[in-house]
Amino acid sequence: MTLYRFGPRSLDALRGVDPRLVLVLSRALLYSEYDFAVTEGLRSPERQRDLLARGLSRTLQSKHLVQPDGYAHAVDLMAVGDLDGDGDGDAQDLARTWSPEIYGSIAAATGRSAEDLGIGVRWRGSFKSIFDGPHFELT
């Protein structure tokens, strides 16, 4: 069993994210069969407008923006490392990075962590209207 931890890029991306979500994700690393990094947490309104204009978001009311409590309530994650279990990180792993199967596994680990801690977290990959595998948010 491999124990994962957040690297500097993830820790930087977690600045400004609600500490409850940070706690859930940190614990999820203990349960996850795949390593994952946080690619985005808190967004500026300008970035959100840009993502909407480019068709990469469907709202200006994103939980990535500062919420009334002063924190972002959403993050985007990305699977990293040896995703196919062949002993090295290579092009085959990169091709699997966005796999719904891998995100489902990360979501299961996140769900277990959230349940343990009594913190509501929702995975956008489970939404019927739009699959957004990288997106996790507080409920």
51-79 confidence digits (pLDDT tens): 999 988 889 999 999 999 999 999 999 99
**What are the residue ranges spanned by the domains of the chain?**
8-138
Q: Could you tell me how many residues make up the chain?
A: 139
- CB under 8 A, 24+ apart: contacts of 52-58: 58/130
Q: How far is CA 132 from the centre of its chain?
A: 10
The candidate with the shortest Cα–Cα distance to 127, out of 107, 102, 99, 98, is 107
For 26-55, what is each residue's pLDDT tens digit?
999 999 999 999 999 999 999 999 999 998
User: Residue for token digits 């919420």?
Assistant: 67
Calculate ∠ Cα 16-25-20, nearest 5°: 55
| Percentage above 70 pLDDT, the chain | 93
- What does the pLDDT read at residue 131? 58
- Judged by average pLDDT, the poorest of 6-15, 22-31, 88-97 is 88-97
> 8-138 has which fold?
Muramoyl-pentapeptide Carboxypeptidase; domain 2 (3.30.1380)
Q: What is the mean pLDDT of residues 92-109?
A: 88
Verdict on whether the full-model pTM lies above 0.95 = no
